[in-house]
A and B are shown apart, each in its own frame.
Chain A
Amino acid sequence: MNNKYYEYLNNSSNIYPVAGEENVIYDEYLRQQMVPNNFNDMMDIQNFIGLKPNMQNNINNDCGLYSTYEGFLKGNMFPELYSPYKNYKPQKIKASSEGEALMLQISELGFALKDIDLFLDVHPDNSCMINKYNEILNKKNMLVNEYEKTYGPITLKSKGLNKNPWAWNDVTAPWMRGY
């Protein structure tokens, strides 16, 4: 896991997709967040488990939205609405386990869904956004299935509840585990 991530950083042609200008700005943002400033940072990155940008999200047809990764860190999927407080720069989200890193990806997609849902409630005839919503929903459902197979159910509708003892108890309460 560590080596793959470091390779990912060094292999610039894989990281930066070819597209319009908004991607250049996004890439620069990413670069600032992830390039090590010193030896400690570099060790930190090599050992980094956490939320990482999924480059498949930042290609064409993004409806003018941030990538789900950037939107989640910022708390806002809409670049024209984003307004930080006093130059606050959103931090990388770190995880202390693979399970947490996977759950963070689920939260990233779930957040995008909520923000697009609120938009569609007021603008119900935007076909780009409707397609985006369903695309993200499919991805999220796949990640939820993957998570539940290994770590346990996260809703009361999960197929993983068909076990004895009651598997709902397998997953710690969110406020205690922090995600």
Chain B
Amino acid sequence: MWAYEKKLQYPVNIKNKNLKLAKLMMAQYGGGNSELAAALRYLNQRYTMPDEKGKNLLTDIATEEIGHVEIMDSIIYQLMEGASIEEIKKEGMADFYAEHGNDLYPVNPSGVPFTVTYFSSVGDPLANLSEDMAAEEKARAVYENLIDLTDDPDVLAPLNFLRQREIVHFTRFKELYDYYKNKGIK
């Protein structure tokens, strides 16, 4: 079961509003390679991991990913905090405001809502781990795209942190994949 620690895994301290940037950040909040997709993916695949190693790794990474969902929503929240209705209209966020007011909602930058079809669970540990490795690489690439799209050091700091995490997660999934392959687990 999940317990909550009232802190962010990594701090988010954004001084300057930027609604256009907030919309782009939704890519990693509700998009196809988002932290939310990652968390749900690993939570659904952990059941067919053949031993405690795999069950633990998927559960522990999923737990971290939920913390990353929180970092992304903090980034989006702070980028939009205090925006007036005029600013919301001018910066192209009126569509979002109409449906959600000042709440968040998992959509991608084009407004496409999050769907569980962004991830799979196929009941096979090697296939699942292959997807997990690809997912981490894709998330890393998307973070690089987002990093390319801003100069704000307050936003770059958590984005680079989150990007680095994808690299570590990829490595652990690869290590587990190789371990199972060598053991002859199919």
The finding on whether chains A and B are genuine partners in a shared complex, rather than unrelated, reads yes
Measured CB to CB, the residues of A under 8 A from B are: 72, 74-76, 78, 81-86, 88, 90-91, 93-94, 103-104, 106-107, 110-111, 114-115, 117-119, 121-124, 153-157, 171, 173-176, 178-179
Contact B8 A81 (CB under 8 A): no
Interface size on B, residues (CB 8 A): 43
Measured CB to CB, the residues of B under 8 A from A are: 3-14, 53, 56-57, 60-61, 64, 70, 73-74, 77-78, 143-144, 147, 153, 156-157, 160-165, 167-169, 171-172, 175-176, 179
Contact B172 A85 (CB under 8 A): no
B140 to chain A, nearest CB (A): 9
3 closest residue pairs by CB, A with B: A75-B164, A175-B74, A75-B161
Q: How far is the CA of A175 from the CA of B29 in the complex (A)?
A: 14
Contact B78 A178 (CB under 8 A): yes
Contact A121 B172 (CB under 8 A): yes
Q: Could you show 23 A-B contacts with beta carbons less than 8 Å apart?
A: A72-B10, A76-B165, A81-B167, A84-B164, A88-B147, A93-B11, A94-B13, A106-B7, A107-B10, A110-B5, A110-B7, A117-B60, A121-B60, A122-B176, A155-B5, A174-B6, A175-B8, A175-B70, A175-B74, A175-B77, A178-B8, A178-B11, A178-B13
